Amino acid sequence: QNTRAEVLIAESKGAVAFEGCRVVSGSWNGLFTGSTAIADAGSLDVDHMVPLANAHRSCGWAWDAQRKQAYANDLGDPDHLIAVTASANRSKGARGPEDWRPSDTGYWCEYAMDWVRIKSTWDLFASAAEHAALGEMLGSCPNRVVLVAQDETGSRAKIPPTATPVTGGTLS
């Protein structure tokens, strides 16, 4: 099975059906849209939470081929690759939270926390606009969440492991 099949199997809320090694049906929720009970696997894309192009622009360009492949196929973090409706994935494209947000505002908190964690795990940077957008989205969390990750110029910030969103305090 390929990475797509692995993600679809892991995220299905029920049994999946196959044609050969290809997943054709199951039961998924559309994380970006809030849609539920999606049965046709063909209507889903497997999306990188932090798109490949965004990772590349955020210092992934310096990775060797092995690290790039590891990022592209990472199944170790269940939020790195996610099943989303094809239309939502195409709407998002390679854009970050400064230019695109899930239409389901109830998912913003989780989306922003996952984004920050993934960028932190992979030692990637965020633009000032991206940082500001993540801060706004973290404001939708039920508990107060802070994100501290700006350099002295405020133009580009590395999201270090110590900047993982935490509850309490104020947004810096």
Instruction: Give which of 50, 52, 39 is closest to 8, Cα–Cα.
Output: 39
Least confident of 41-50, 145-154, 163-172: 163-172
Least confident of 62-71, 104-113, 140-149, 159-168: 159-168
Question: How much is the mean pLDDT over the chain?
Answer: 86
pLDDT per residue as tens digits for the range 38-58: 899 999 999 999 999 999 999
Q: With pLDDT > 70 as the criterion, what percentage of the chain qualifies? A: 84
pTM here is 0.83
Q: What is the pLDDT of residue 17?
A: 95
At which residue do the structure tokens 């989205």 appear?
Answer: 137
Q: What is the pLDDT of residue 156?
A: 46
